[in-house]
Amino acid sequence: MSKISVNFYKSCSINQEIRGTVVKPFFKIMSLHGFDPDFYKIMNNCYNPLNAFSEPKIYYIVSKSQNFLKEIPCLNNWNVNNNIPIDGKIFNEEVELNIPYCELTEYCQILFVLASYFIIPNGAVEEKYLNAGYLTLFNSHDVFRRGIYEIELHPLDHDNYTSLEEILNKVIHMKEFNGKPTSIPELNMLQKTMRKKLRGQLSCIPMEKITLSKVEQRINELKNQSKKIFLSVEFRFSKDIQISLPVVLIRPTLHADISRKFSSKNPVEKKHYLMTRNARAINTDRNRRPDNEDLAEIKKILKQPPNTIMTEAESDLIWKYRYHISVMSPTALSKVMRSVQWDYQSFTDQVNDILLKWPDLNPEHLMELLTSHFLNPVVRKFAVKRLNMATDDDLFLYLFQLVQALRYDIFEEIFNVEPGDEKHYVEHDNSLNDLKTLPNNLDHSMFSLNNQKSFLASFSSNIINLQEDLATFLIRRCKSNRKLSTYFYWYLTLEFDEDNSGPNDVKSMFRHVHTRFKLAMDYGDIDARENSANINSQINFVNDLTQLIKNISTKNIRAQQKSEFLKSELLSNKYPYITNIDPKFYFPLKDDFLVDRIDINSCSVLKSALAPVKLALLSDKNMKYDVMFKVGDDLRQDQVVLQMINFMDEILRRENFDLKLTPYKVLATSKNSGFIEFVKSKSISEILNDNTTILNYFRKVAFSEKDPQQVDPIVMDNYIRSLAGYCVITYLLGVGDRHLDNIMLTETGLLFHIDFGFVLGNDPKPLPPEVRLTKDMIDVMGGANDLLFNSFCDLAFNTFNYLRRHANQCLSLLSLITDAGIQDFSREPDKACEFVKERFLLDFTEEQAIHRLAERLTASVKAIFPDMMEKLHKFAMRFK
């Protein structure tokens, strides 16, 4: 068998001349992309043509970045480009670092800073630092970088940085200034592929020239679309020596046993943690109280969004005062768990002591512990155990996210429970003391999703009987509750739907939990067995409905004719589970509504290409319930958005702040079908067509002689409150495609939005306003100068403030659904939380945030494009 040889240079060996030339690392600053001086000419609402008037300058420096060092050691001085950029963009600056390879370490990074000159108010010329980005000299495989890199230069608050040294000491530790364009996955992937090709790591193929040109074209498109600034830098082995062999980082002390470098922990870091987190200091730590400076820093850290990665210094501070934080701010448990160094078993042993004494938490504060950021089974089982105290209503509020959290659990533990094995549905002992019996050789890497199988092979039997896992907990709590069992069943069904493109192992896990749940109901108590029979009836009803709508959609006729066809089909008895309901069953959207039959004469097909059906359900007490069933549309996004609205409504009600929201019910029964609750209402568009103004409509349906507006005050109050609530919530979630046909109004004044096919800023129309607030809506309140409009503004601003205080809980719920494959939430998983985080304006003070929201409300009213698009939408609706 032939041996495989790998040729490379050891970095520690390149300390002398090669071919008579001293070898030094080399890079070339090629060009700047995306820099527009005009962007900086408006500052503090004033236009100054002399802002950023000079050619851009690029400063660079090589430093050693180690998180536990306060001072950043530099390997050279600050340098600036010598070449005058062509057209302000092309530099072609060649740089030979005056540092031999043998002196480079894995901590070496190069920082680039973009600068330009400004004319300040007193007439003086001042250089300002605009953007910055850093890149390690060695990649994640400890190989010196080769090829062209598009380094993203992130914006600096140029008024707060007065020196390059200040930028270096602050920015070099901040992950958000990493120059790799990880926020644009496609761009990052294409650049990596191009570098591999240029290094000869990919074989040649026919049509290669055409393919490469297309790739370069796509890279430029992505950079243009991102509206970000990129600096093109080429790294090479040497300026004068063209060698294609890679330089691998190897220290002289490790050359005899290179493998030790990869298996051993960093000794400096290890010593640092052992000194700062000594287990013998527990008693001292319990009595620690932070001084004013530390307390201010702790409060700043605790306000960070849930997906923020703490620095080592922040992590040390949180760990140091963990016991004080448990009393001061019990909701900050997730921050304390993030500060745990799971690599070191002596530290993880202390976690048990913390968890045993941690105060009770509301369910929303436990949800973050079930996200992908917390894979350690001890933390996840603690969260599940505390969820035992949640009411059924609380569980229902977070049930969809709890189902999604299963994908981050240990699959082997879930599969270890066989379907029908009832002993696992018995509630376990509440004590956490047994957690101390976990093996002493746990490694952090074992808790990654990719290593679960090898991890559990050694000790899954030790952990499975300590506490319920999430799957067992959900099965036990849901099986005997009609509402929970119904939704839990359909949520699970969605995850292994044949149209679901998720990973096979995840789909198999959900199918297994689904089977366990069904058998748990079939062999459970009388309530569980009744719920199982009820779900079976729902399944038959849904299957017949799906087939009926598919038959209707094949008919190329108008909606009116489709409605007649629908009634004739229902009268034909082709669909027995719809027309001859036996046994009666409780409807999924309304668990207290017992379906006895349907009112065929009141059923219809709505105007839409998908031919959704409106069903009139009747109970045994002759009560009526209208729903819509759609096939061909993914309702999961609507379901999630309405659940978030429901959650925000619950938050506001806890503050005794009732905004009269109408989070109507939606249940997806598959990836392309589902039920939507009908709320008796009219669209704003229809109201304006029939009554000219909304105020005329209110005077018609809720007339009051005593009120100056001649409208029942309760109706007007409902209108103002609901308008304020939906303006803020749709802004926070970035709900798009807002037109007057999907904003509804009831006779009691309740305004609400429907159809959430576009969220997180996505919109099919150009230049959409961030808030949909029209002049017609404002005129109802007497115009922008009336007291009623002032009341609306107060409600909107207070709503925004209340919800900002719970932003972290909202972000935790969103982070649990980014892997669910739901349209806008999963298209760019990182974008979902980042978008909502930006809308919450968490870096602003309360006053600044209110001012920004007021600006966006004003911009919405002044927007021209929505009115134009509204007319086009009305024109298109005539042809349906």
Last residue of a domain, one of 500, 526, 552: 526
Contacts of 734 (CB under 8 A, 6+ apart): 759, 760, 761, 762, 770, 835, 836, 839
Residue where one domain finishes, among candidates 211, 237, 261: 261
Q: Are residue 286 and residue 148 in the same domain, yes or no?
A: no
pTM exceeds 0.85: no
Which structural domain range is residue 31 located in?
Answer: 9-181+228-261
What's the CA angle centered on 781, arms 779 and 785, to 5 degrees? 85
Cβ atoms of residues 659 and 648 within 8 Å: no
| Distant-in-sequence, close-in-space partners of 663: CB < 8 Å, separation ≥ 6 | 642, 643, 645, 646, 649, 752
DSSP designation for 133: E
3-class secondary-structure state, position 632: coil
Taking the C-alpha atoms of residue 332 and residue 809, their distance in angstroms, rounded to an integer, is 11
Model confidence band, residue 393 (pLDDT cutoffs 50, 70, 90): very high
- pLDDT computed for residue 252 by the predictor: 60
pLDDT on residue 353: 80
Q: For residue 589, what is the domain's CATH number? A: 3.30.1010.10
Three-state DSSP class for 793? helix
Nearest to 289 by CA among 239, 261, 324: 324
On whether residue 845 sits in a domain, the answer given is yes
Question: Are 280 and 318 members of one domain?
Answer: yes
Query: Tens of pLDDT along 785-840?
Result: 889 988 999 999 999 999 999 999 999 999 999 888 898 888 877 778 889 999 99
> Cα dist. 763→228, 347, 542, 726, 739 in Å?
21, 48, 31, 17, 11
Number of domains comprising the chain: 4
What is the mean pLDDT of the segment spanning 361-382? 91
The mean per-residue pLDDT over the stretch 111-121 comes to 83
Tokens (6 digits) for 875: 């024109």
Say whether pLDDT at 775 is over 60: yes
SS3 state at 645: helix
Q: Is residue 1 a contact partner of residue 120, using CB atoms and an 8 Å limit?
A: no
pLDDT of 643 over the 80 cut = yes
467 pLDDT higher than 60: yes
Closest CA to 18 of 102, 81, 112, 144: 102
From residue 690, alpha-carbon distances to 57, 384, 475, 605 in Å are: 62, 54, 51, 23
9-10 and 247-248 as β-strands: parallel, antiparallel, unpaired?
parallel
DSSP 842-859: TTS-HHHHHHHHHHHHHH
Looking at the structure, tell me whether residues 167 and 273 fall in a common domain: no
Alpha carbon dihedral 161, 162, 165, 166, in 10-degree steps, equals -40
Task: Let me know if residue 193 belongs to a domain.
Answer: no
Residue 541 belongs to a domain: yes
Buried b / exposed e over 513-523, threshold 16 CB at 10 Å, is bbebbbbbbbe
The DSSP element (H or E) to which 405 belongs, if any, is helix 392-405
Position 70 confidence tier, pLDDT thresholds 50, 70, 90: very low
Whether 440 and 565 map to the same domain: the answer is: no
Q: Give the pLDDT of residue 525.
A: 94
Residue 189 belongs to some domain of the structure: no
pLDDT at 307: 77
Last-in-domain residue among 487, 511, 526: 526
Q: Assess if residue 670 is contained within a domain.
A: no
Residue 191 lies in a domain: no
373 shares a domain with 351: yes
pLDDT at 62 over 90: no
Instruction: Give the burial string for 697-725 (b: 16+ CB within 10 Å, else e).
Output: bbbebbebeeeebebbeebbbbbbbbbbb
Residue 163 to residue 174: CA distance in whole angstroms: 17
User: For residue 778, what is the domain's CATH number?
Assistant: 1.10.1070.11
Residues 372 and 452 in one domain: yes
Indicate if the pLDDT at residue 243 is higher than 80.
no
For the segment 140-152, the average pLDDT, to the nearest whole number, is 87
- 153 membership: H or E segment, kind and range: strand 147-155
pLDDT at 875 over 70: no
Mean pLDDT along residues 229-256: 76
Length of the chain: 880
Q: Please determine, for residue 57, whether its predicted confidence score (pLDDT) is greater than 80.
A: yes
* Mean pLDDT score, 712-721: 96
> By three-state DSSP, how is residue 688 classified?
helix
pLDDT of residue 865: 43
- Average pLDDT over all residues of the chain: 82
Do 694 and 584 lie in a common domain? no
CB 614 within 8 A of CB 677: no
Q: Which CATH number goes with the domain that contains 308?
A: 1.25.40.70
Confidence of residue 863 (pLDDT cuts 50, 70, 90): low
Q: Are residues 747 and 813 in the same domain?
A: yes
pLDDT band for 301, please (50, 70, 90 cuts). Answer: very high
Residues 542 and 396 in one domain: no
Report phi then psi at 822, rounded to 5. -95, 105
* pLDDT of residue 880 exceeding 60: no
Percent residues over pLDDT 90 in the chain: 43
Residue 222, in any domain of the structure: no
Kindly write down the DSSP assignment for every residue of 325-375, as one continuous string. Answer: HHHH-GGGHHHHHHT--TT-HHHHHHHHHHHHHPPP--HHHHGGGGSTT--
Residues 176-219 have pLDDT tens digits of: 888 888 888 888 888 888 887 776 767 666 666 777 788 888 88
CB < 8 Å & 24+ apart, contacts of 436-442: 436/349, 436/352, 437/462, 437/466, 438/378, 438/462, 438/463, 440/345, 441/345, 442/342, 442/345, 442/348
- φ and ψ of 152, to 5 deg: -80, 125
Residue 517 tokens, joined = 């749940």
Is the pLDDT at 348 greater than 80? The verdict is: no
The reply to whether 675 falls in a domain is no
| In a shared domain, residues 709 and 855 | yes
At 753, give phi and psi (nearest 5°): -100, 150
Tell whether 421 and 556 lie within a shared domain.
no
Q: What is the mean pLDDT of residues 589-598?
A: 95
**455 and 521 assigned to the same domain:** yes
Token representation of residue 637: 């996004």
Cis ω for the linkage preceding 866 (within 30 of 0): no
